[in-house]
Copies of this chain bind each other. A is one copy, B any other.
Protein backbone atom coordinates (compact mmCIF):
# COMPACT_ATOMS: atom_id res chain seq x y z
CA UNK A 1 0.00 0.00 0.00
CA UNK A 2 1.38 3.33 -1.03
CA UNK A 3 1.44 6.16 1.43
CA UNK A 4 2.79 9.33 -0.02
CA UNK A 5 4.09 12.12 2.11
CA UNK A 6 6.28 15.18 1.88
CA UNK A 7 6.24 18.16 -0.44
CA UNK A 8 8.62 19.28 -3.13
CA UNK A 9 9.21 22.34 -5.31
CA UNK A 10 10.09 21.01 -8.75
CA UNK A 11 10.18 22.38 -12.26
CA UNK A 12 8.04 21.52 -15.25
CA UNK A 13 10.20 21.34 -18.36
CA UNK A 14 9.30 22.65 -21.79
CA UNK A 15 7.65 19.34 -22.66
CA UNK A 16 5.31 19.40 -19.67
CA UNK A 17 7.13 16.73 -17.72
CA UNK A 18 7.72 16.53 -13.99
CA UNK A 19 10.00 14.32 -12.02
CA UNK A 20 8.35 11.96 -9.55
CA UNK A 21 10.23 12.56 -6.29
CA UNK A 22 12.58 9.70 -5.43
CA UNK A 23 11.08 9.19 -1.97
CA UNK A 24 7.65 8.77 -3.48
CA UNK A 25 8.97 6.28 -5.99
CA UNK A 26 10.23 4.22 -3.11
CA UNK A 27 6.73 4.12 -1.65
CA UNK A 28 5.17 2.71 -4.80
CA UNK A 29 3.73 -0.77 -4.52
CA UNK A 30 5.33 -3.24 -6.89
CA UNK A 31 1.89 -4.06 -8.31
CA UNK A 32 1.46 -0.44 -9.41
CA UNK A 33 4.25 -1.29 -11.79
CA UNK A 34 5.25 2.31 -12.44
CA UNK A 35 1.86 2.97 -14.01
CA UNK A 36 -0.32 5.90 -12.97
CA UNK A 37 -3.68 7.42 -13.62
CA UNK A 38 -3.67 11.19 -13.82
CA UNK A 39 -6.90 13.05 -13.29
CA UNK A 40 -8.43 16.30 -12.25
CA UNK A 41 -8.22 17.24 -8.60
CA UNK A 42 -11.21 18.40 -6.58
CA UNK A 43 -9.32 21.59 -5.89
CA UNK A 44 -7.41 23.34 -8.69
CA UNK A 45 -4.69 20.74 -8.83
CA UNK A 46 -3.86 17.43 -10.47
CA UNK A 47 -4.28 14.05 -8.81
CA UNK A 48 -1.82 11.31 -9.67
CA UNK A 49 -2.80 7.83 -8.52
CA UNK A 50 -0.58 4.79 -8.87
CA UNK A 51 -2.45 2.02 -10.65
CA UNK A 52 -3.18 -0.03 -7.55
CA UNK A 53 -4.71 2.93 -5.74
CA UNK A 54 -6.69 3.93 -8.77
CA UNK A 55 -8.20 0.45 -8.88
CA UNK A 56 -9.68 1.19 -5.45
CA UNK A 57 -11.22 4.42 -6.69
CA UNK A 58 -12.85 2.53 -9.54
CA UNK A 59 -14.29 0.04 -7.10
CA UNK A 60 -15.73 2.92 -5.10
CA UNK A 61 -17.24 4.42 -8.21
CA UNK A 62 -18.85 1.09 -9.00
CA UNK A 63 -20.65 1.23 -5.67
CA UNK A 64 -22.09 4.68 -6.28
CA UNK A 65 -25.73 4.99 -7.21
CA UNK A 66 -25.81 6.43 -10.67
CA UNK A 67 -29.42 7.49 -10.16
CA UNK A 68 -28.25 10.17 -7.72
CA UNK A 69 -27.20 13.49 -9.28
CA UNK A 70 -24.30 14.01 -6.86
CA UNK A 71 -22.98 10.53 -7.49
CA UNK A 72 -23.11 11.09 -11.21
CA UNK A 73 -21.24 14.34 -10.77
CA UNK A 74 -18.55 12.68 -8.69
CA UNK A 75 -18.17 9.93 -11.27
CA UNK A 76 -17.83 12.39 -14.13
CA UNK A 77 -15.30 14.57 -12.37
CA UNK A 78 -13.04 11.66 -11.69
CA UNK A 79 -13.38 9.82 -14.99
CA UNK A 80 -13.77 12.57 -17.55
CA UNK A 81 -10.18 13.76 -17.31
CA UNK A 82 -8.51 10.51 -16.34
CA UNK A 83 -5.61 9.34 -18.46
CA UNK A 84 -2.99 6.65 -18.08
CA UNK A 85 0.64 7.60 -17.73
CA UNK A 86 3.93 5.79 -17.31
CA UNK A 87 7.28 6.82 -15.94
CA UNK A 88 9.89 7.45 -18.61
CA UNK A 89 13.51 6.37 -18.32
CA UNK A 90 14.25 9.33 -16.04
CA UNK A 91 11.30 8.62 -13.72
CA UNK A 92 9.22 11.48 -15.08
CA UNK A 93 5.60 11.67 -16.16
CA UNK A 94 4.05 14.00 -18.71
CA UNK A 95 1.16 16.12 -17.49
CA UNK A 96 -1.82 16.43 -19.87
CA UNK A 97 -2.17 19.95 -21.25
CA UNK A 98 -5.82 20.43 -20.29
CA UNK A 99 -5.08 19.54 -16.70
CA UNK A 100 -2.08 21.86 -16.55
CA UNK A 101 -4.37 24.60 -17.72
CA UNK A 102 -7.02 23.64 -15.20
CA UNK A 103 -4.48 23.68 -12.37
CA UNK A 104 -2.89 26.87 -13.67
CA UNK A 105 0.53 25.23 -13.84
CA UNK A 106 3.27 27.07 -15.71
CA UNK A 107 6.94 26.47 -15.07
CA UNK A 108 7.02 25.32 -11.48
CA UNK A 109 5.01 22.91 -9.41
CA UNK A 110 4.41 22.07 -5.81
CA UNK A 111 4.26 18.30 -5.49
CA UNK A 112 2.46 17.02 -2.44
CA UNK A 113 2.20 13.53 -1.02
CA UNK A 114 -1.41 13.03 0.06
CA UNK A 115 -1.67 9.49 1.42
CA UNK A 116 -3.17 7.52 -1.47
CA UNK A 117 -2.25 9.95 -4.23
CA UNK A 118 0.31 12.46 -5.39
CA UNK A 119 -0.98 15.99 -5.93
CA UNK A 120 0.51 18.51 -8.33
CA UNK A 121 -0.22 22.19 -7.69
CA UNK A 122 0.85 25.51 -9.06
CA UNK A 123 2.69 27.01 -6.05
CA UNK A 124 0.48 30.11 -6.08
CA UNK A 125 -2.70 28.05 -6.18
CA UNK A 126 -1.62 26.03 -3.19
CA UNK A 127 -0.87 29.22 -1.29
CA UNK A 128 -4.29 30.55 -2.19
CA UNK A 129 -5.81 27.31 -0.99
CA UNK A 130 -4.01 27.56 2.34
CA UNK A 131 -5.04 31.18 2.79
CA UNK A 132 -8.67 30.24 2.31
CA UNK A 133 -8.64 27.77 5.21
CA UNK A 134 -9.83 28.59 8.69
CA UNK A 135 -7.69 26.03 10.47
CA UNK A 136 -3.93 25.90 10.75
CA UNK A 137 -1.34 23.16 11.16
CA UNK A 138 -1.48 23.19 14.95
CA UNK A 139 -5.23 22.65 15.10
CA UNK A 140 -5.25 19.89 12.53
CA UNK A 141 -2.22 18.07 13.87
CA UNK A 142 -3.49 18.17 17.45
CA UNK A 143 -6.76 16.53 16.48
CA UNK A 144 -5.26 13.64 14.60
CA UNK A 145 -2.25 13.09 16.85
CA UNK A 146 -4.44 12.97 19.95
CA UNK A 147 -6.53 10.32 18.25
CA UNK A 148 -3.37 8.34 17.55
CA UNK A 149 -2.70 8.31 21.28
CA UNK A 150 -6.09 6.79 21.89
CA UNK A 151 -8.01 9.78 23.16
Contact of B72 with A42 in the complex, beta carbons under 8 Å? yes
Task: Considering the complex, give the chain B residue whose CB is closest to the CB of A4.
Answer: B79
For chain A, the bracket of interface size reads 35 or more
CB neighbours (8 Å) of A72 from chain B are: 42-43, 114
Report the minimum CB–CB distance from A54 to chain B (whole Å). Answer: 9
Task: Considering the complex, give the chain B residue whose CB is closest to the CB of A43.
Answer: B72
Question: Assuming A42-B142, A56-B148, A145-B57, is B6 touching A112 (CB within 8 A)?
Answer: no
CB neighbours (8 Å) of A57 from chain B are: 144-145, 148
| A137 in complex: contacting residue of B77, B84, B116, CB < 8 Å | B77
Give residues of chain A (71-109) contacting chain B, Cβ–Cβ below 8 Å.
72-84
Give residues of chain A (125-141) contacting chain B, Cβ–Cβ below 8 Å.
133, 135, 137-138, 140-141
